[in-house]
Protein backbone atom coordinates (compact mmCIF):
# COMPACT_ATOMS: atom_id res chain seq x y z
CA UNK A 1 0.00 0.00 0.00
CA UNK A 2 1.51 3.36 -0.98
CA UNK A 3 2.37 5.84 1.72
CA UNK A 4 -0.11 8.69 2.09
CA UNK A 5 2.68 11.10 3.02
CA UNK A 6 3.98 13.00 0.00
CA UNK A 7 7.58 12.45 -1.05
CA UNK A 8 9.84 15.40 -1.49
CA UNK A 9 12.39 17.60 0.28
CA UNK A 10 10.57 17.49 3.62
CA UNK A 11 10.57 13.67 3.65
CA UNK A 12 14.23 13.60 2.64
CA UNK A 13 15.06 15.97 5.50
CA UNK A 14 13.14 13.75 7.94
CA UNK A 15 15.06 10.70 6.71
CA UNK A 16 18.36 12.54 7.18
CA UNK A 17 17.35 13.50 10.74
CA UNK A 18 16.43 9.89 11.56
CA UNK A 19 19.71 8.66 10.10
CA UNK A 20 21.66 11.21 12.13
CA UNK A 21 19.81 10.10 15.28
CA UNK A 22 20.78 6.51 14.51
CA UNK A 23 24.44 7.42 14.06
CA UNK A 24 24.42 9.40 17.32
CA UNK A 25 22.75 6.53 19.20
CA UNK A 26 25.31 4.06 17.85
CA UNK A 27 28.19 6.37 18.81
CA UNK A 28 26.75 6.86 22.30
CA UNK A 29 25.84 3.24 23.08
CA UNK A 30 28.08 0.98 20.98
CA UNK A 31 31.77 0.73 21.87
CA UNK A 32 32.51 -1.31 18.72
CA UNK A 33 30.98 1.40 16.55
CA UNK A 34 33.13 4.06 18.24
CA UNK A 35 36.31 2.00 17.72
CA UNK A 36 35.46 1.43 14.07
CA UNK A 37 34.66 5.14 13.80
CA UNK A 38 38.09 6.12 15.11
CA UNK A 39 39.74 3.76 12.63
CA UNK A 40 37.54 5.12 9.84
CA UNK A 41 38.50 8.74 10.60
CA UNK A 42 42.19 7.80 10.39
CA UNK A 43 42.09 5.36 7.47
CA UNK A 44 39.62 7.14 5.16
CA UNK A 45 41.86 10.18 4.54
CA UNK A 46 44.83 7.81 4.30
CA UNK A 47 42.97 5.82 1.63
CA UNK A 48 42.28 9.00 -0.33
CA UNK A 49 45.96 9.93 -0.10
CA UNK A 50 47.40 6.48 -0.88
CA UNK A 51 44.94 5.49 -3.60
CA UNK A 52 46.33 5.95 -7.09
CA UNK A 53 43.32 7.02 -9.14
CA UNK A 54 39.60 6.77 -8.61
CA UNK A 55 39.30 2.99 -8.56
CA UNK A 56 41.96 2.51 -5.89
CA UNK A 57 40.54 5.34 -3.78
CA UNK A 58 37.07 3.78 -4.11
CA UNK A 59 38.37 0.36 -3.05
CA UNK A 60 40.32 1.68 -0.07
CA UNK A 61 37.66 4.08 1.17
CA UNK A 62 34.58 2.16 0.05
CA UNK A 63 35.65 -0.98 1.85
CA UNK A 64 35.93 1.09 5.03
CA UNK A 65 32.36 2.41 4.69
CA UNK A 66 30.94 -1.11 4.72
CA UNK A 67 32.20 -1.95 8.22
CA UNK A 68 30.31 0.72 10.20
CA UNK A 69 27.24 0.12 8.02
CA UNK A 70 27.28 -3.56 8.98
CA UNK A 71 27.98 -2.62 12.61
CA UNK A 72 24.84 -0.46 12.60
CA UNK A 73 22.79 -3.38 11.26
CA UNK A 74 24.38 -5.75 13.78
CA UNK A 75 23.59 -3.37 16.65
CA UNK A 76 20.01 -3.01 15.40
CA UNK A 77 19.62 -6.80 15.32
CA UNK A 78 21.03 -7.09 18.84
CA UNK A 79 18.71 -4.36 20.16
CA UNK A 80 15.61 -5.99 18.66
CA UNK A 81 16.63 -9.46 19.87
CA UNK A 82 17.25 -8.14 23.40
CA UNK A 83 13.87 -6.35 23.38
CA UNK A 84 11.93 -9.37 22.14
CA UNK A 85 13.80 -12.07 24.05
CA UNK A 86 15.73 -10.77 27.08
CA UNK A 87 16.43 -14.32 28.30
CA UNK A 88 18.89 -16.51 26.41
CA UNK A 89 17.49 -18.39 23.45
CA UNK A 90 19.47 -20.41 20.92
CA UNK A 91 17.94 -18.56 17.94
CA UNK A 92 18.59 -15.18 19.56
CA UNK A 93 22.22 -16.13 20.11
CA UNK A 94 22.48 -17.36 16.54
CA UNK A 95 21.08 -14.08 15.18
CA UNK A 96 23.58 -12.06 17.21
CA UNK A 97 26.47 -14.29 16.16
CA UNK A 98 25.52 -14.01 12.48
CA UNK A 99 25.38 -10.21 12.71
CA UNK A 100 28.82 -10.22 14.30
CA UNK A 101 30.11 -12.56 11.59
CA UNK A 102 28.90 -10.13 8.90
CA UNK A 103 30.95 -7.34 10.48
CA UNK A 104 33.96 -9.66 10.71
CA UNK A 105 33.72 -10.61 7.02
CA UNK A 106 33.64 -6.96 6.02
CA UNK A 107 36.70 -6.31 8.18
CA UNK A 108 38.45 -9.10 6.26
CA UNK A 109 37.31 -7.36 3.07
CA UNK A 110 39.07 -4.16 4.23
CA UNK A 111 42.28 -6.11 4.85
CA UNK A 112 41.98 -7.81 1.46
CA UNK A 113 41.33 -4.55 -0.44
CA UNK A 114 44.08 -2.64 1.31
CA UNK A 115 46.50 -5.56 0.95
CA UNK A 116 45.83 -6.05 -2.76
CA UNK A 117 46.04 -2.33 -3.53
CA UNK A 118 48.96 -1.37 -1.32
CA UNK A 119 50.78 -4.69 -0.91
CA UNK A 120 52.57 -4.65 -4.27
CA UNK A 121 53.84 -1.12 -3.59
CA UNK A 122 55.11 -2.08 -0.15
CA UNK A 123 56.75 -5.28 -1.41
CA UNK A 124 58.49 -3.51 -4.30
CA UNK A 125 60.35 -1.11 -1.97
CA UNK A 126 64.02 -2.09 -1.85
For residue 112, tell me if it sits in a domain.
yes
Catalytic site residue 71? Answer: yes
Q: What percent of the chain has pLDDT over 70?
A: 94
Catalytic annotation, pick one of 56, 71, 78, 90: 71
pLDDT bucket at 125, cuts 50 / 70 / 90? confident
Q: How far apart (Å, rounded) are the C-alpha atoms in residues 68 and 33?
A: 6
Identify which of 77, 80, 69, 126 has the alpha carbon closest to the alpha carbon of residue 99: 77
For residue 101, tell me if it sits in a domain.
yes
Domain that holds residue 72: 9-123
Q: What total number of domains does the chain contain?
A: 1
Q: What is the pLDDT of residues 45-84, one digit of tens each?
A: 999 999 999 999 999 999 999 999 999 999 999 999 999 9
For residue 84, tell me if it sits in a domain.
yes
For residue 62, tell me if it sits in a domain.
yes
CATH of the domain at 104: 1.10.287.3610
Mean pLDDT over the full length of the chain: 93
Q: Specify which of 39-43, 86-90, 122-126 reaches the highest per-range mean pLDDT.
A: 39-43
Q: How far apart (Å, rounded) are the C-alpha atoms in residues 58 and 53?
A: 9
pLDDT at position 39 is 97
For residue 2, tell me if it sits in a domain.
no
For residue 1, tell me if it sits in a domain.
no
Q: What is the pLDDT of residues 1-27, one digit of tens each?
A: 556 666 888 999 999 999 999 999 999
* Residue 122: partners with Cβ closer than 8 Å, 6 or more residues away: none
Q: What pTM was computed for the model?
A: 0.85
Amino acid sequence: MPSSEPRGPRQILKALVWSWKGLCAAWRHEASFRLEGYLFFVLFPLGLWLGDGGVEKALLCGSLLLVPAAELLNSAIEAVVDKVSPEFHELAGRAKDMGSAAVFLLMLNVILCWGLVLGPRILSIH
